[in-house]
Amino acid sequence: MRYFLLFCLILVWLAITPLSGQTENWKDLHQQALVVDLHTDALLRVLQGQDISKRLDHGQLDLVRLKEGGVDVQFFAVWPNPKLYKPGEMYQQSIHMIDSLDALIKRNSYLLALAHTPEQIEQIIKQHKIAACIGVEGGSAIENSLEKVEEFYRRGTRYLTLTWNDSPDWATSAKDEVNPNFKRQKGLTAFGEKVVRKMNELGMMVDVSHAGEQTFWDALAVSQKPVIASHSSVWKFSHHFRNLKDEQIKALATKGGVIFINFYPGYLDGEFRIAYKNFRESAKAKMDSLASLYGARSPAYYRERKRYIYQEMYPVLPGVKKVVDHIDYIVQLVGEDFVGLGSDYDGIPIAPKGLEDVSKMPAITKELLERGYSEASILKILGGNFMRVFREVSKK
């Protein structure tokens, strides 16, 4: 009887304890992989005076957690807010953000280095540092000047998102294209086509995240090189104007481009999107009171705001599995060569369960392995697909 009880205890222990080899496998694979995240808005917090070089108890990304998450290449978004900066100020504000990244790198040169080329990325990683790259989010930043596109490239910008939610004079955003009151012609103008050709010439990636459908199709028609979506998700799961429909995913893949999955729960899950919209409307008074109490841009406000959102929305919040559902959908639709990661950390008010901040990135590798993805496929998704596109676009 004693031996039978011991045998039962062993069976129970095996059932609730993961095998160490399995645990080490996904952790080791993630650490050995080249992991690339195409989008974070962390520079906005730097502009607010936050020191993201140390571990913070607010925000979704800092350099300590970036290292813990095994991220080797991080694209920092340069986004001039059109609500704060008037036409004529967008370019200078963008340059100011690039200056702030340069200063961050200088202060943390033991950990971070700016990369302009695929070869530099490889060299930086060999030095056990994180490669920092620049993406300018929104064509308004170039202020209708091809010379400013060239200057952004010279400063290290390696993708330009053609639009944000606002529309520059030469392209239309997804938000504007679905607005029935928006009367301007949709898509790229003749100057917009020149912008795309200039980017091709320089070796700068054309990014269609945030772009309206007509702008999307125009950009694919004009570009002679692969086009990316730096932080987008799949329309099939959430019918949001920011997400890509099947025909767009297929066309982008045919062009050799890559869709980098956005972690925002509202883009990941349609039911959550509706629930969160209703929550925002009902919680406006609470958010206003927090902003009044702590200061609208203070770390304390963001911390308490995040705590309150998670408290109220956690029961319907999607998790890491839903992120991998989007990856899996694209793989089934067009193949494993056309998908990657574009978290949008610090640009989203709430992140999925299990991916609350960048330190949790290895959870994606674990989920992919559990779904039966091979190590070779996972290496493509985590960073290999990006490097392939970057090399193709960089060729002169």
Helix, strand, coil percentages in the chain from 3-state DSSP, rounded to 5: 55, 15, 35
What is the DSSP-derived secondary structure letter of residue 380?
I
**In terms of domains, do 182 and 305 share one?**
no
> What Cα–Cα distance (Å) separates residue 234 from each residue in 5, 159, 335?
51, 21, 15
**In terms of domains, do 193 and 285 share one?**
no
Task: Name the residue range of residue 234's domain.
Answer: 33-269+319-394
**In terms of domains, do 146 and 262 share one?**
yes
Report if residue 15 sits inside a domain: no
**In terms of domains, do 257 and 285 share one?**
no
Give tens-digit pLDDT for 101-130: 999 999 999 999 999 999 999 999 999 999
> What Cα–Cα distance (Å) separates residue 357 from each residue in 25, 338, 368?
22, 24, 19
Report if residue 18 sits inside a domain: no
Report if residue 23 sits inside a domain: no
Give tens-digit pLDDT for 208-230: 999 999 999 999 999 999 999 99
Given this model, what pLDDT does residue 350 score? 94
Give tens-digit pLDDT for 251-279: 999 999 999 999 999 999 999 999 999 99
Q: What is the DSSP string of 109-144?
A: TTTEEE--SHHHHHHHHHTT-EEEEEEEE-GGGGTT
Give tens-digit pLDDT for 235-250: 999 999 999 999 999 9
144/149 Cα distance (integer angstroms): 9
Q: Is the pLDDT of residue 178 over 70?
A: yes
Given this model, what pLDDT does residue 362 score? 98
Average pLDDT over residues 348-370: 97
Given this model, what pLDDT does residue 303 score? 84
**In terms of domains, do 209 and 281 share one?**
no
Report the percentage of the chain scoring pLDDT > 70.
Answer: 94
CB 96: neighbour CB atoms within 10 A? 14
- Bridging pattern class, strands 339-341 and 258-261: parallel
Strand partners, 76: 40, 134
* Residue 130 near residue 63 (C-beta atoms within 8 A): yes
**In terms of domains, do 205 and 308 share one?**
no
Report if residue 289 sits inside a domain: yes
Strand partners, 222: none
Q: Which two tokens stand for residue 385?
A: 């697909």
Given this model, what pLDDT does residue 23 score? 52
- Domain total for the chain? 2
**In terms of domains, do 203 and 126 share one?**
yes
**In terms of domains, do 301 and 339 share one?**
no
CB 220: neighbour CB atoms within 10 A? 19
**In terms of domains, do 50 and 139 share one?**
yes
* Residue 202 near residue 150 (C-beta atoms within 8 A): yes
The domain boundary, picked from 285, 317, 349, lies at 317
Contacts of 157 (CB under 8 A, 6+ apart): 78, 98, 134, 135, 136, 204
Give tens-digit pLDDT for 10-30: 334 434 444 334 556 999 999
> What Cα–Cα distance (Å) separates residue 34 from each residue in 69, 108, 175, 205, 392?
12, 21, 34, 19, 18
Give tens-digit pLDDT for 376-396: 999 999 999 999 999 999 987
**In terms of domains, do 303 and 352 share one?**
no
Report if residue 4 sits inside a domain: no
Average pLDDT over residues 177-203: 97
**In terms of domains, do 332 and 304 share one?**
no
Calculate the average pLDDT of the chain.
93
Report if residue 38 sits inside a domain: yes
Strand partners, 157: 134
Report the percentage of the chain scoring pLDDT > 90.
Answer: 82
Given this model, what pLDDT does residue 6 score? 42
Give tens-digit pLDDT for 274-333: 999 999 889 888 888 988 889 887 888 888 888 888 899 899 999 999 999 999 999 999
**Residue 228: CATH number of its domain:** 3.20.20.140
Q: Is the pLDDT of residue 148 over 70?
A: yes
Cα–Cα nearest to 339, from 272, 276, 249, 275:
249
Report if residue 10 sits inside a domain: no
319/328 Cα distance (integer angstroms): 15
Secondary structure E strands in the chain: 36-40, 73-78, 112-114, 130-137, 157-161, 205-207, 227-232, 258-261, 339-341
**In terms of domains, do 328 and 287 share one?**
no
Report if residue 9 sits inside a domain: no
